[in-house]
Amino acid sequence: MTNLAPTPLSDRLRSLVDTVQHNERTLRRFQNVELRLIGAQDFASFLDTLFNVLPQEFALTGVTLWLDERAPMLLELLEPAALRSLDQPPGLKTSREAGAAASRLCDDGLPWLGRPRDWEENARHSFFGDVELPASAILLPLVAGNLSSGYLCLGSDDATRFVPGMATDILERFASIVAASLDNVAHRERLRQLGMTDSLTGLANRRYFDERLREECMRAVRYAAPVACLFIDIDSFKRINDTYGHQTGDRALAAVAACVRKQVRLGDTVARYGGEEFTALLQGDRGDALTVAERVRRAVEKLQLLDDRGERIVLTVSIGVAARTVAVPPAEALAFGRTMMEEADRAMYRAKHNGRNRIEALAPA
């Protein structure tokens, strides 16, 4: 029996089937990535999916994500201390220059496709840094509802992969999933923070401080680094409540909390430990801690808290200081940290006993 050559129609059908199967495989891969994004329990998992899983699934040379730190839902995710704890990926950008470059390219709200090497030099550097530029890329706006949170850039070493005029429906849908997942992660992080944040002052609460004490003492053990603690108590706080009322007392607490927060460094931890007591965990030795304590004492003394008649209410604090270089086995680090806290607490009570509005530091036991 003679074999017949395939007809042009059968060739077209085979090509059509191949295209359909390829699109189905692509959709399945997108769905797998989308499910990971939607199910991300925290910001670290979200970023891992974008920067590690997504490039592997689609053979991308790089992923760049610019997020707008001014967006209300991203304020806490993009705080410097939060990013440091994540070991910020190189592809995560927050600079205004990178955002301006992306917005100019997508000024109509539509994706941009083409060669990043055609961008202006400042735009290229602010968005990609010093990494090698992809041969082609697509820049996708991230919009959830009517709120824009940033831009996602996917790069390829194939110059023909992302070119102007190509269909972008699937990628635009993916971008909407990324934006919605980011919003979801931000809300989850917010709920987690609420469990570790004092609602009145906005500072960390005791639960969070105790966890940070453990982490900081472990770090101090590992690097033989000094660590210090301040115990801060508002003087005569009961008198303020009794004289001016609890609402004024709450304003006093909030004012002192904000004041303490401003006097410590960005990486230090400040918490409302209970009632009118605050604690600060500092990276530094005794001298550093005494300097910070004096800054706090002076700043609180100058606070302008007014009563209902517009008259100034004098606020002062008594501060206890303890500092150590943690030289114990890791298993004993937390107990050592608690001992340091107890020393700072006793020093604070000595400051109360010796006249208030002062600083005391006990010699280590």
Which positions are annotated as active-site residues?
276
Four-point Cα dihedral 338, 343, 348, 353, nearest 10: 140
> Residues in the chain, how many?
365
Q: Which of the 8 DSSP states describes residue 52? A: I
Answer positive or negative: Cα dihedral of 322, 326, 331, 332: negative
Strand partners, 318: 233
| CB-side neighbour CA atoms (13 Å) of 104 | 12
- For the chain, how long is the longest CA-to-CA vector? 112
Closest CA to 254 of 278, 230, 236: 278
**Which tokens sit at 286?**
């005794």
129 phi and psi angles, rounded to 5 deg: 70, -140
Cα–Cα distances in angstroms (integers) from residue 57 to residues 2, 61, 156, in the given order: 44, 11, 13
Distance of CA 238 to the CA centre of its chain: 36
- Cα distance between the two ends of the chain: 101
Give the DSSP H or E segment for 139: strand 136-144
